[in-house]
Structure 1
Amino acid sequence: MLYKFTCSKLVLICFAFLFIAPLSHSQTKKIKRPKSRVGISSVDNFVRESFDLYDKVYMYDGYAAAGTPLDDDDIDVLEEALEDLAVLSESAPDILSDVKGQSVLKQGKATLQINRAKKALKYSIKTAKELLLGERKRKEEEEKDDTDNSTKDSDNNSDSSENSSSDTDDSEVEDNKNISDDLEILSKYDFVPGDKLLFFDDFSKDFVGDFPSKWNTNGSGEIVNIKGENWFELKSGYGLFFVPDIENLPEDFTIEFDLLTSGLDNKTSSTARFHVYLSDNLKFNTGLEHYTDVSLPFGQFGAFNIRVANYFNRGGGDIKAALKSDIRNDILNQPHISISVTKKRYRLWVNQTKYVDIPRFIEVPNVLNHIKFHINNFKDGEERVFIKNLKVAEGGVDLRRKLLAEGKISTNGILFDSGSSNIQVQSYGIIRQISQVLQQDTTIQLKIIGHTDADGTDENNIKLSKSRAEAVKQALIKVYNIDSSRLISDGKGESEPVGDNSTPEGKAQNRRVEFIAQ
């Protein structure tokens, strides 16, 4: 996070601390950061991050004590700090559960430090809110809050009993499961990508080391090659935005992309987050009058919440919430993110799990025309975040009605592994809708036709398109129990393009599956 220090502020702060503070006690006595570590990584990280945020808020409280007004940059820093404080406070119960099973001495030391960190968080949240509202008041009782005394046995005993009675941490990462073992769960995945492609970027046309040609930023980022594929590496920082060249989003649209991380571990900050903004402008800010923000947690030492907030008509929004989630294992294993906006409704999936479904998140229609990405609180050069295959499409249309009304549909939303007929799991929302049509009208027979782009030979593409159509047919039979006699499959390779095979967007349009009712 970037801080703004001016000479005048430094002079005033020094003057305040040397002369004013001892006389008027205008700033609360500082809580001292513990000098030693406990040796439990989650506890040590929680204490360190709590006091990092506390020091930041305490510094701005010093400005107020000296009578120095906050400028716009100061307010921005405080607002972000307040959000980080809320995230960290939510993790406290999970951190307490990590103390269980440790030695008596280690439990005692951990409890003392957690108590001190919680006291620092309590001060920080209260003070940050008052500073932002211009209502900071220092009361005499705050002067009594000297936590240098490692304090109050009653508090410690209370928290210790909390430890002994709290439930076992149910946020532990579950063992990985093969997707094929959960076909019943998979069959309920209901994301349906839009059917009219607006933007696609797999960075295949960009050079390694360059900033991608179809994006803009006020910071930095570059294309890197990982195992033969180009990925866009985002840079962490306060106020940095990455903006794809997308304008005039429709009322109904979908967003999909893949994420990749490197260097995350149990020391990764609880405030390390990946933000997706829908915004009313292309400038390097969240938005002027209207925006939404959904952020994914990347911290690994606890299960941190997905956070959602909206802001409309300059007056704020009705929604600011933290959604219980544990996506730590997903974040480490190249997750696919899917977002669907249907008029006012906003939904978000991480892989096949839907975490966000808010019916009236978009309070004002047709004003959020742009997409922006932002990451912060990652260690520079150590903790890295990459994005690939950003796809934005109009629609998210109900394919069931279209198939019944028109007798055929074509979609590029059924995705396969490169050069393979292996269906990617995020495609099952579409296949599920097709199955519902067949279940509703048992007289329908369906022809499934695969199409490819022009990469590779004609012979290989014909073979690939047929095997992909057959894979979709088998999914309808095995996952959704459709009678095989009602389905036939075929493939036409690259012979019927609908887009320009010289561009990533055109290739994405040509890789499609067609369904024709017989």
Structure 2
Amino acid sequence: MKNTIKITWLLLLLLAVGFNVEAQLLKKIKKRAEEAAKETILRKVEEKSAEETEKAMDSILEAPGKKGRKKNGKTGQPTDENGEIYEEEWEDNENTSDGSDPEALYIYSKFDFVPGDKLIFFDDLSREFVGDFPSRWNTNGSGEVVATDEGQKKWLEIKPGYGITYIPDLPDLPEDYTVEFDMLALGLDRQTASTAVLKVGVSDTKSFKWGKFANVDIPFCQYAPVGFFVRNGGEINNSIQGDIREKVLGQPHISIAVNKQRFRLWVDEKKVVDIPRMIPEGSKPVAVKFELHQFKDGKERLFISNLKVAEGGQDLRRQLMEEGSISTNAILFESGSATLLPVSMGVIRQISQVLNSDETLTLNIIGHTDADGDDALNMELSAKRAEAVVNALVQVYQIDPYRLQAEGKGETEPVADNSTTDGKAQNRRVEFKKVK
């Protein structure tokens, strides 16, 4: 009997120990499962981020296997080595009949940025070799030119680092001028640092030091809207609220206007900074500078292109009313097409205001191109671009179409040297003339 009781207690003890061991084991398994689930989620996020980055990089970095794939210089249609058009690919990317996106133009209809009308500097990097640092820039760090797989657009990749500065070779700046560029960021996700920013601004020295300056930090953080940090080395040293997290995942266009001491900055159509006395009193900016901070090397990458600096001229509205005509290269189109870029709406908005102020006024709108490509195609392209401006005035600002005429002059009336990048940019222009 005693032996039976001992055996029973021993069995119960073993069973209790077994339950305890099993419970501990289950806890460990549960904990490990939770950790594994977390790891799986993180891995999926990283894989998705890597996949999106890879897709973006496929479209921006030059692909040796696609070097034969080009586009027709004036229609924008993709072609093979023999110039034959890939019809199916082109049909997938058709624009509206007037060459513009009405929804995008409407979004920009209240955009009040007006580029300067006298070109100082323009660099689309088209003459640079892929892999080289661009010849019209300077830096104390490193960087290189990359291209789309079809070679249609080139970008300068700038590298992160405090004190690593990128400076385009500009002449001295006037009191009133504008700065514009396209920007592309890759590899951004919710782990991107809150301090990941592009510092852009103006300085009174052309050295890598900032001297007397005014600059803005454009943020790339995705997990929170960290806003724009503004500073001028004096009283201004603070943050301005703003959320551009979605915009920086695309290819935003940055616009800056400096009018004496006033400094304004737009991201696409949204004005995010407008400070009346940001340029330090008594300073004379002579340089535009860029610095990239807190990007993870190899994962997060930043590219800029199409840098344009122009002197701010007279109010285009007043000039058109007083002189009867204006010519501007601040109305921009996609390369080789009549697709009107939304950032041009600041100028078109001013033209609509003149037309609304005088209902008897009629205008002739004349398009001009540079000398690249076929003469006949340039003539056709310039006419289509003038028609795109007419359509924007009619569709967006409700101007009577009978008050507008469109005409193309192609490359027949250049105002600058077509053998230089700056000269070509000046020749690609739109004129507005009162009809007698």
TM-score (normalizing by structure 1): 0.63
Deviations 1:39-72 (A, max 9, x none): 6999xxxxxxxxxxxxxxxxxxxxxxxxxxxxxx
Residue 470 in 1 paired to residue 392 in 2?
Answer: no
- Cα distance, 1:484 vs structure 2: 1.0
In the alignment of these two chains, the number of paired residues is: 341
Match for 2:402 among 478, 485, 499? 485
Change (3 A) 1:460 1:365: farther
Q: Give the match for residue 330 of structure 2.
A: 413
Judge conservation of contact 1:500–1:506 (CA < 8 Å) in 2: yes
CA distance in 1, matches of 2:179, 2:105: 25
8 Å contact kept, 1:251–1:365: no
Q: Which residue is 1:188 aligned to?
A: 110
Distance 1:291 1:423 in 2: 34
| Cα distance, 1:486–1:252 mapped onto 2, change above 3 Å | same
Query: Is contact 1:271-1:377 (8 Å) kept?
Result: yes
SS class of match (1:444): coil
Instruction: Call closer, same or farther: CA 1:298–1:179 in 2, change over 3 Å.
Output: farther
Tell me, in whole angstroms, the C-alpha distance in 2 between the residues paired with 1:347 and 1:280.
18
Task: Give CA-to-partner distance per residue, 1:86-109, whole Å, 9 cap, x none.
Answer: xxxxxxxxxxxxxxxxxxxxxxxx
SS in 2 for 1:460: helix
Match of 1:254 in 2: 178
1:418: how far off? Answer: 1.1
Which residue is equivalent to 2:370?
453
> What is the aligned-residue RMSD (CA, Å)?
2.1
Q: Indicate conservation of the 8 Å contact 2:196/2:219, yes or no.
A: yes
Is 1:423 aligned with 2:340?
A: yes
For 2:235 and 2:132, locate their aligned partners in 1 and report how far apart those are by CA, in whole Å: 40
AA paired with 1:219? G
* Higher relative contact order (CA closer than 8 Å, sequence separation 6+): 2
Q: Of 408, 429, 433, which residue of structure 2 is paired with 1:512?
A: 429
1:441 to 331, 334, 358: 358
2: distance between equivalents of 1:202 and 1:469? 23
Write the distance in 1 (CA, Å) between the matches of 2:313 and 2:213. Answer: 21
Q: Which moved more, 1:390-399 or 1:361-370?
A: 361-370
Matched AA of 2:197: R
Secondary structure of the corresponding residue to residue 347 of structure 2: helix
- Measure, in 1, the Cα distance between the counterparts of 2:252 and 2:123: 17
- Contact kept, 8 Å, 1:444 with 1:517, in 2: the verdict is yes
AA aligned opposite 1:296: I
What is the aligned counterpart of 2:297 among 368, 374, 380? Answer: 380
Q: Which residue of 2 aligns with 1:336?
A: 253
Q: Cα gap change, 1:380/1:182 in structure 2, threshold over 3 Å: closer, same or farther? A: closer
**CA distance in structure 1 between the partners assigned to 2:160 and 2:180 by the alignment:** 21
CA deviations on 1:269-307 (whole Å, 9 max, x unpaired) are 1111001121111111222xx111111001112211111
Q: Secondary structure at the match of 1:419?
A: coil
Partner residue, 2:140: 218
The aligned amino acid for 1:213 is S
> Counterpart in 2 of 1:233?
157
Letter of the aligned partner of 2:177 in structure 1? F
Indicate yes or no: 2:231 matched with 1:309. yes
Task: Indicate if the aligned counterparts of 1:192 and 1:397 stay in contact, CA closer than 8 A.
Answer: no
Q: Contact conserved, 1:340 with 1:396, CA < 8 A, in 2?
A: no
Other structure's SS at 1:281 match: coil
- 8 Å CA contact 1:344–1:365 kept in 2: the answer is no
TM-score by length of 2: 0.75
Deviation at 1:180, TM superposition (A): 3.3
- Kindly report which structure 2 residues correspond to 1:109-124, keeping only aligned pairs within 5 A, or say none: none
> Which has the higher mean CA deviation after the structures are superposed, 361-370 or 392-401?
361-370
| 1:299 alignment partner, SS class | coil
Aligned-residue sequence identity (percent) comes to 56
In structure 1, what is the equivalent of residue 89 of structure 2? none
Counting strand residues as a fraction of each chain, which structure ranks higher? Answer: 2
1:325 corresponds, among 242, 250, 255, to 242
Q: Does the 8 Å contact 2:109/2:349 carry over to 1?
A: yes
Is this contact kept in 2: 1:201–1:389, CA < 8 A?
yes
CA deviation after TM superposition for structure 1 residue 456, in Å: 1.2
Secondary structure (helix, strand or coil) at the match of 1:190 reads coil
Q: Distance in 2 between matches of 1:342 and 1:480?
A: 27
| Structure 1 residues without counterparts, runs of 5 or longer | 1-35, 43-177, 312-316
Aligned letter for 2:326? I
Is the Cα contact below 8 Å between 2:197 and 2:217 reproduced in 1?
A: yes
Identify if the C-alpha distance between structure 1 residues 345 and 425 changes in structure 2 by more than 3 Å, giving closer, same or farther: same
- How far apart, in 2, do the equivalents of 1:209 and 1:184 lie? 39
Question: Matches of 1:382 and 1:279 in 2, distance apart?
Answer: 30
Asked if the contact 2:194/2:226 (under 8 Å) is kept, the reply is yes
Structure 1 residue 182: Cα displacement: 6.5
- 1:397 has 2:319 as partner: no
Q: For residue 218 of structure 2, what is the aligned residue in structure 1?
A: 296
Q: Is residue 2:192 matched to residue 1:268?
A: yes
Q: Which amino acid aligns with 2:196?
A: A
Q: Distance in 2 between matches of 1:202 and 1:272?
A: 25
Structure 2 stretches lacking a partner, 5+ long? 1-34, 43-99
Cα distance between partner residues in 2 of 1:385 and 1:303: 19
Q: In the alignment, does 2:130 pair up with 1:208?
A: yes
CA distance in 1, matches of 2:370, 2:363: 23
